[in-house]
């Protein structure tokens, strides 16, 4: 079955040529993009959708979320808004609630959060474990996550549980816990930050997870300058996320990691800097220096960091709007970071294989048909009309999702 989407005022491809087409059309065939170009040149299809002069983008790629949780941390948020500073310790509140919630309800809650994200244009999602923090509950979180999202990240190294020795817990994360989650995950992450895991502990986690064949990511430089960025670059991590506090050397290291990148060949890729502006606002941290990173030659992603403590939103449009209005990005740059950048952070920016490993985050022939139709004539309305519900229609892997 093929579908022609025509009468597009603007088609922002986010492909390697950064094309923005006017008066355009797209043809979906099955799960893939089969054709795109000027509407007057569009081939016939089995069915047609009149976009009514609206703008079409790739679906959002949210490369950093924490969706497998139960419980509520409104009181913590209220205290933070009243002037208390953020620390990593609040994770323990969610851990207690998550451990006491059964599989059915934990899955139901996660599916509801995914549905909220998709309804706002997100078509590809990563999520992490990290609210189990023991072998059985981390494995359970990983198993449930693998049934509700596209990419799963092991984050046993989220926080040292109360009453446990940090060294012993790090050994557990690197050993029996890693073995238990391994069948369900593609990535591993570590919260390298004061109050969480120090440089030596983070290094142990990254090494063990790399040896187990997992791709790597790092929570780094959220609460202050630290070793997170350097560890991420040293280990060839796909991304380092938060990046609020960066030294000049950190920026240089991230930029240098991209110096040999050939996007056409898919070689020499560096470490993506993932900015989480909704989290920055909620924790009252300085916004990550996205403009500086882009100007230095670093590849940038935007993600929601949807979680119960510091960023309880899955609105990628909100992140894009914030990046434009407060971080100095252009609309095109912000949309690219929230689509292609997220795909790059997940290693899914290229590929047209028939086994399902199609590229996401951009609109090009052969790529997965993940599309976000705005109720607006251009993507500029995302920032021009902040906070407005602009999602008109969503296609996820070629299927109409909204």
Structure tokens at 43: 């081939």
**Cβ pair 340, 361 in contact under 8 A:** yes
Q: Measure the CA dihedral 66/70/74/77, to 10°.
A: -30
Other CB atoms within 10 Å distance of the CB of residue 213 = 9
**Cβ pair 65, 307 in contact under 8 A:** yes
Q: Which residue, among 35, 39, 37, 40, has the nearest Cα to 3 in the 3D structure?
A: 35
The sheet with strand 47-58 has its strands ordered as 32-38, 20-29, 2-12, 47-58, 371-374, 391-396, 399-400
Mean pLDDT, the chain, as a whole number? 96
Domain boundaries of the chain, sorted by first residue = 2-58+362-400, 60-329
CATH number listed for the domain at residues 2-58+362-400: 2.30.40.10
Evaluate if residue 88 carries a pLDDT over 60. Answer: no
Dist. CA 144–CA 138, nearest whole Å: 10
Residue 79 binned pLDDT confidence (cut-offs 50, 70, 90): confident
Residue 352 binned pLDDT confidence (cut-offs 50, 70, 90): confident
Summarize pLDDT for 251-303 with one digit per residue, the tens: 999 999 999 998 877 789 999 999 999 999 999 999 999 999 999 999 999 99
**Cβ pair 189, 155 in contact under 8 A:** yes
Higher pLDDT: 88 or 333? It is 333
Dist. CA 371–CA 13, nearest whole Å: 10
Share of the chain above pLDDT 70, in %: 98
Instruction: Report CA-CA distances (Å) from 389 to 56, 164, 354, 373, 383.
Output: 15, 45, 34, 12, 12
Helix 135-148, helix 103-119: angle, nearest 10: 40
Dist. CA 141–CA 66, nearest whole Å: 10
Per-residue pLDDT, 265: 77
Which pTM does this prediction carry?
0.96
Per-residue pLDDT, 356: 63
- DSSP helix/strand/coil, 363: coil
Structure tokens at 381: 């309305």
CATH number listed for the domain at residues 60-329: 3.20.20.140
């Amino acid at each position: 079955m093929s579908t022609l989407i025509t009468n597009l005022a603007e088609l922002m491809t986010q492909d390697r040529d950064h094309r923005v087409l006017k008066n355009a059309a797209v043809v979906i065939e099955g799960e893939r993009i089969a054709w795109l170009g000027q509407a007057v040149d569009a081939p016939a299809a089995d069915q047609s959708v009149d976009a009514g002069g609206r703008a079409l983008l790739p679906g959002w790629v949210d490369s950093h979320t924490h969706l497998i949780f139960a419980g509520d941390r409104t009181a913590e948020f209220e205290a933070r808004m009243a002037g208390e500073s953020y620390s990593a310790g609040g994770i323990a509140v969610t851990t207690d609630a998550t451990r006491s919630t059964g599989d059915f309800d934990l899955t139901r809650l996660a599916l509801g959060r995914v549905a909220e994200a998709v309804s706002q244009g997100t078509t590809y999602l990563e999520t992490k474990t990290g609210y189990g923090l023991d072998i059985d509950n981390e494995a359970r979180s990983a198993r449930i996550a693998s049934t509700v999202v596209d990419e799963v990240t092991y984050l046993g190294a989220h926080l040292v549980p109360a009453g446990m020795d940090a060294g012993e817990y790090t050994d557990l994360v690197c050993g029996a816990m890693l073995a238990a989650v391994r069948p369900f995950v593609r990535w591993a992450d570590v919260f390298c930050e004061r109050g969480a895991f120090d440089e030596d502990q983070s290094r142990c986690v990254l090494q063990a997870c790399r040896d187990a064949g997992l791709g790597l990511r790092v929570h780094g430089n959220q609460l202050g300058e630290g070793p997170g960025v350097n560890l991420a670059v040293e280990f060839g991590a796909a991304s380092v996320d938060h990046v609020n506090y960066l030294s000049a050397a950190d920026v240089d290291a991230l930029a240098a990691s991209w110096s040999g990148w050939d996007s056409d060949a898919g070689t020499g890729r560096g470490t993506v800097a993932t900015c989480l502006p909704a989290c920055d606002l909620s924790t009252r941290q300085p916004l990550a220096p996205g403009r500086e990173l882009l100007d230095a030659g670093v590849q940038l992603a935007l993600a929601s960091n949807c979680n119960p403590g510091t960023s309880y939103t899955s609105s990628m449009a909100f992140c894009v709007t914030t990046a434009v209005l407060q971080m100095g990005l252009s609309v095109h740059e912000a949309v690219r970071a929230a689509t292609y950048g997220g795909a790059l952070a997940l290693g899914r920016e290229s590929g047209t294989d028939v086994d399902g490993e199609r590229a996401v985050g951009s609109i090009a022939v052969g790529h997965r048909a993940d599309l976000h139709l705005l109720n607006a004539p251009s993507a500029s309305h995302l920032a021009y009309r902040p906070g407005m519900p602009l999602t008109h229609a969503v296609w996820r892997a070629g299927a109409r999702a909204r």
